[in-house]
Amino acid sequence: MRWGSLRLRLALVVGAVALTAAVSASGIAYWINREAVLTRTQDATLNDFRQQMQNRAADLPVRPNASDLRTTARQMAGDGNAYDVLLIATGQDGRPISGASDADTFTLAEVPATLRAAVGGKQKVTSANKYPYHLFWQRVDHDGTPYLVGGAHIDGGLTGYVFKSLAQERADLDSLAWSLGIAAALALVGAAIIAQAAARTVLKPVQRLGEAARKLGEGKFETRLRVTGTDELADLSRTFNNAAASLQTKVEDMSAREESSRRFVADMSHELRTPLTALTAVAEVLEEEVDNLDPMIAPAVTLVVSETRRLGDLVENLMEVTRFDAGTARLVLDSVDVADQVTACLDARAWLDAVDLDAERGIMARLDPRRLDVILANLIGNALKHGGAGVRVSVRTQTAATGREELVIAVRDNGPGIPEAVLPHVFDRFYKASASRPRSDGSGLGLSIAMENAHIHGGTITASNVPDGQGAMFVLRLPRGGPADDGPDTDAGGDPGTGSGTGTGTGTGSGDQGRAPDDGGGRAR
C-alpha cells in the first residue's frame, strides 16, 4: 500500500476512530466496574462492621480492659470476615485502652488522622440528623496494598475501626483492565480489516475511474465505465461517460475537419504543381531574355519570375507539411560522414566562402541525408540572411542524458539576435514577427519543416541568443545511431529532389525558408 494513498488514509482514519471508540469504551467500562466492585466490597464491609459494633458493644463491660477489647475485636474479625478490627475504649483508670484483632497488622497508626477526627467528632442532633456519631471510611495505601479503613463511635465511649484489604479487588480490576485492553486491540484489528474491505469497496470504482481517465488521456475516446447502483459513485461514473462521449464526438468532428483541411491542402498543392511547372518554364525563358526586353517591362518580368519561384516553393513546402501532418513522412537512413554532408550543403549553395566550418571528418552518423540537407539549408540560410558574414557551423558529438551518443550541429551568426518575444515562436508555422509587414521573401514554413525533420530523426532544434548580443545560435541535436525506432527504411514523402523547396542543386534554395521579420518561421531583426 503506497504511503499517502487514499486507501491508507481511509484505513488510518477508520483505525483511529475505532481505537478512540475502543479506548473510550474500555475506559468507561473499567471505571464503571471499578466503582461497582469497590462500592460493593466497601458497603458489605462497612455494613457488617456496623452490625458487629452494635451487637458486640452490648457484651462489653462498662469499663472494659485491654483483654476484653482484644477478645471482642478477634470475635468481630473472626466471624468469617476478611478484615481486622481495632477497638478503643476508656479503661477503669480513666485512660484510653485499645485492643486489636491482630496487633501486627492493624494499629491506630494505620488510621489517618483525618478519619480519626471525623469519627470522634460529635454532631448536633436535629430532625435531619438523628445520631451524634456516624460511620466514616477512607481508602488508603499501605505498603503498596490498597486498604479500606472505616470507623465509628457509639454511646458508652467505644470506638471501633475496621481495616479491610482491597488486594483481591485490585487483582480483579487488573484482570479486567487486561481483558478490556485485549478487547480494544482486537477491535482495532477488526476495524483495520473492515477498513480495508470498505476501502477496497469504495475505492475500486475510483481506481476504475482513474484508469479510464488515463485511457482517455491516451486518446482512447471509446473508453466507458460500467455503471452499477444509484449512489454518488454511480453518478460520477455516469458523468464521466457523458463527458467521454461528448469529448469523443468533438474530437471525431475536429479530426474529420482536420483531415478534410489536410486533404484540401494536399489536393490543392498537387493541382497547382502542373500549372506551376508550366509557369516556371516560361519564367525561366523570360529570365534568360530579360536583358533584351524593354527597360519598362524588365522589372515586371523579374517580379513575375521571382514570385513564380516563390509560389512554387510555397506549394512544395505545403506538400511537405501535409506529409508530416498525415504521418506519411519516412526516413531513408544511411551511414554518412557528417562533415561531408555539411560541406556538400554549403558547396551546392555557394556558401563555402561565407561560412566558417568547424567539423572533423570521420564523424559518422546514421540519418537521412536529404532531410539533413533541408535542416542545414534552412538554419545556415537564415544565419546568412540575418547575421551577415561570419556565420560559424560546428559539428561535435556528446553523450545525452539518456546515455545515447548524439550528434550536435551548432549554427551561429553575428547578427543582432532574436527578440525575446519572438524566441518561443521561431519554429511556429506562418508566425509573423512583425504584423505590420505581412509579406516576406519566404513561405514562413522553413524552420517548422526543419524542426519536423529533426523530430522524425528523434532529435530537436533549439534557438537562443548568444550572451552579450553576439548574435543568435541554433543547435541541432540528432541521435548518432539513428532514431530509437527506425521504422521502415522507405520515404513516403515523394521525390527526394522535392519535398522541401531547398533541395540540393539550387543556388539560393533556402532563402524562401528564412526567418525574416514577416516570415512565419522567422525572427525580427
Position 344 confidence tier, pLDDT thresholds 50, 70, 90: very high
Residues 438-482: tens digit of each pLDDT: 445 555 778 888 898 898 888 999 999 888 767 889 999 999 888
User: What is each CA distance from 306 to 209, 442, 511, in whole angstroms?
Assistant: 59, 11, 12
- Please say whether the beta carbons of 416 and 431 come within 8 A: no
**Could you give the angle at the alpha carbon of 317 between the alpha carbons of 413 and 425, nearest 5°?**
50
The SS3 call for residue 140 is strand
| pLDDT at residue number 500 | 36
**Does residue 221 sit within a domain?**
no
Residues 305-323: tens digit of each pLDDT: 878 877 777 777 777 777 7
501: left (phi over 0), alpha (psi -120 to 50) or beta: left
Task: Using a pLDDT cut of 90, give the percent of the chain over it.
Answer: 10
For residue 165, the Cα-to-chain-centroid distance in whole angstroms is 62
Position 498 confidence tier, pLDDT thresholds 50, 70, 90: very low
Report the DSSP pairing between strands 96-100 and 334-337. unpaired
Q: Which residues pair with 463 in a beta bridge?
A: 474
**pTM here?**
0.47
- Burial class from Cβ neighbours inside 10 Å (0-12, 13-18, 19+) for residue 215 reads middle
CATH number at residue 465: 3.30.565.10
- Burial class from Cβ neighbours inside 10 Å (0-12, 13-18, 19+) for residue 70 reads buried
**Does residue 356 sit within a domain?**
yes
| pLDDT at residue number 7 | 67
* Cα dihedral: 298, 299, 304, 305 (round 10): 70
User: All 3 cell numbers of residue 241?
Assistant: 461517460
Mean pLDDT of 14-35: 83
**Does residue 352 sit within a domain?**
yes
> Rounded to whole angstroms, how far apart are CA atoms 74 and 502?
126
3-state helix, strand, coil in the chain (%, to 5): 50, 15, 35
Mean pLDDT of 487-505: 38
As a whole number, the mean pLDDT across the chain is: 78
**How does DSSP assign 42-75, residue by residue?**
HHHHHHHHHHHHHHHHTTS-SS--HHHHHHHHHH
Position 393 confidence tier, pLDDT thresholds 50, 70, 90: very high
| pLDDT at residue number 493 | 39
**Does residue 446 sit within a domain?**
yes
Strand boundaries in 91-196, DSSP class E: 96-100, 136-142, 145-154, 158-165
| pLDDT at residue number 2 | 52
**Does residue 348 sit within a domain?**
yes
**Does residue 394 sit within a domain?**
yes
**Could you give the angle at the alpha carbon of 107 between the alpha carbons of 101 and 113, nearest 5°?**
135
Residues 138-183: tens digit of each pLDDT: 888 888 888 889 998 887 678 889 898 888 888 888 888 888 888 8
**How does DSSP assign 295-332, residue by residue?**
TTTHHHHHHHHHHHHHHHHHHHHHHHHHHHHHT-----
Residues 266-299: tens digit of each pLDDT: 676 677 777 877 888 877 777 777 777 777 888 8
Position 329 confidence tier, pLDDT thresholds 50, 70, 90: confident
Report the DSSP pairing between strands 391-399 and 355-358. parallel
| pLDDT at residue number 496 | 36
Position 490 confidence tier, pLDDT thresholds 50, 70, 90: very low
**Does residue 473 sit within a domain?**
yes
The domain in which residue 430 lies consists of 329-513
**Does residue 180 sit within a domain?**
no
| Residues ≥6 apart with Cβ < 8 Å to 458 | 478, 479, 482, 483, 484, 485
Mean pLDDT of 1-5: 54
Run of H or E residues at 211: helix 167-217
Q: Which residue has the cell 508566425?
A: 431
- Burial class from Cβ neighbours inside 10 Å (0-12, 13-18, 19+) for residue 155 reads exposed
| pLDDT at residue number 36 | 87
Q: Please state, as a whole number, how many other Cβ atoms lie within 10 Å of the Cβ of residue 112.
A: 13
**How does DSSP assign 377-427, residue by residue?**
HHHHHHHHHHH-S-EEEEEEEEE-TTS-EEEEEEEE--SS---TTTGGGTT
Number of structural domains (the chain) is: 1
For residue 47, the Cα-to-chain-centroid distance in whole angstroms is 69
Q: Which residues pair with 199 in a beta bridge?
A: none
